[in-house]
Amino acid sequence: MPSSDDKLAWSSWPARERPGAALAGLVAVTLFGVAGAAFSGNVYVGAGAGFALFCCLQRFYFPVRCTIDNGAAGTATVRTLLATRTMPLSSVRRVAHDGKALMLSSSSKSTAADVVRGFLLPLPRRGADAIIREALSRLGTDAVVVRT
């Protein structure tokens, strides 16, 4: 929940909240690596393929820290194990939410490119509704709000 007057911060760790899905994902990553090794004939290629897939899923397996800062900078920030991304709040034109995540977009209309261009802030299972309400109030009324 809010950590100061200008900043809304939370963390999400989907693998911890959904251990069954985490286990199923690890089985899938392992099978992907085994298939890569079998098809290539090289165990290192299979291990590399499995590791690459695991790295792609790091937002699920490791904690994600999200911040909406209304201070002088006015940014939304997502910190993961491998990267930190920021988006200026002044560029937010559309906010979509489904109870699992907030998607901030610089386009006022939904497009297929939102998956790549959009800014995804995952939400924890507990307290997601309160975070959504607080985030929408901090983002202001200029953005189009869509519940998906």
Q: What is the pLDDT of residues 94-119, one digit of tens each?
A: 888 888 899 898 887 877 777 777 78
In the block, residue with structure tokens 């906010």: 95
Please indicate, yes or no, if residue 142 is contained in any of the structural domains.
yes
Please indicate, yes or no, if residue 49 is contained in any of the structural domains.
yes
* Cross-strand partners of 7: 69
Q: How many domains does the chain have?
A: 2
Q: Let me know whether 88 and 110 are in one domain.
A: yes
Share of the chain above pLDDT 90, in %: 53
Tens-place pLDDT, residues 47-98: 999 999 999 999 999 999 999 988 777 899 999 998 999 999 888 888 888 8
What is d(CA 49, CA 51) in angstroms, rounded to the nearest whole number?
5
Q: Let me know whether 67 and 126 are in one domain.
A: yes
Q: What is the largest CA-CA distance in the chain?
A: 57
Q: Let me know whether 72 and 121 are in one domain.
A: yes
Q: Let me know whether 76 and 110 are in one domain.
A: yes
Q: Is 9 helix (H, G, I), strand (E, B) or coil?
A: strand
Q: Let me know whether 52 and 24 are in one domain.
A: yes
Q: Let me know whether 53 and 76 are in one domain.
A: no
Q: 61: closest CA among 90, 94, 24?
A: 24
Q: Let me know whether 53 and 118 are in one domain.
A: no
Domain of residue 29, residue span: 16-59
pTM of the predicted structure, to 2 decimals = 0.79
**Which helix (H) or strand (E) segment is 47 a member of?**
helix 43-56
Contact 129, 10 (CB under 8 A): no
